[in-house]
């Protein structure tokens, strides 16, 4: 089968990502934090102290993206990082408090986007993820 460029799955998924990231950026504007940094914080909130590499695996993020995000979050005193060969990271008290403040904002973002795409859209996203992973 011959495809046209406007059918490119990678391009279309990146486009959807940029669109939803725009909604999330708007929601996070008062926190001075990026989507990736938020995801790292939320993952640490759920996982506790963890090997830095585990965050990249769980979130499917490039090593450089994780390292950059961790450095920024560490400078903002939201996480601590061990100095071992395989560094472990965890939330500070300030980091845990930030996650608790961001959660209702994130919930509101999720409600807005999920109401727009509906249950069928959410099910489709899940199916695509399960198929490609």
Nearest-angstrom CA–CA distance, 103 and 34: 14
pLDDT category of residue 6 using cuts at 50, 70 and 90:
confident
* Res 114: pLDDT: 95
Mean pLDDT calculated for residue range 112-131: 94
23, pLDDT greater than 90: yes
* Res 47: pLDDT: 95
- Compute the half-sphere exposure of residue 64: CA atoms within 13 Å on the CB side of its CA: 0
> Which domains does the chain carry?
8-132 (1.10.10.10)
3 state SS of 127: helix
């Amino acid at each position: 089968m011959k495809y046209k460029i406007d059918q490119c799955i990678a391009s279309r998924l990146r486009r959807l990502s940029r669109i939803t990231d725009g909604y999330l950026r708007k929601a996070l504007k008062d926190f001075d934090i990026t989507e990736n940094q938020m995801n790292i914080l939320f993952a640490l909130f759920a996982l506790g102290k963890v090997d830095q590499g585990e965050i990249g695996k769980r979130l499917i993020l490039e090593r450089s993206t994780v390292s950059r995000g961790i450095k920024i979050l560490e400078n903002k005193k939201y996480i601590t990082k061990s100095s071992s060969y395989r560094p472990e990271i965890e939330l500070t008290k300030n980091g845990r408090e930030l996650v608790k403040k961001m959660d209702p904002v994130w919930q509101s973002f999720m409600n807005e986007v999920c109401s727009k795409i509906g249950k069928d859209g959410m099910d489709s996203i899940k199916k695509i993820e399960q198929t490609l992973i």
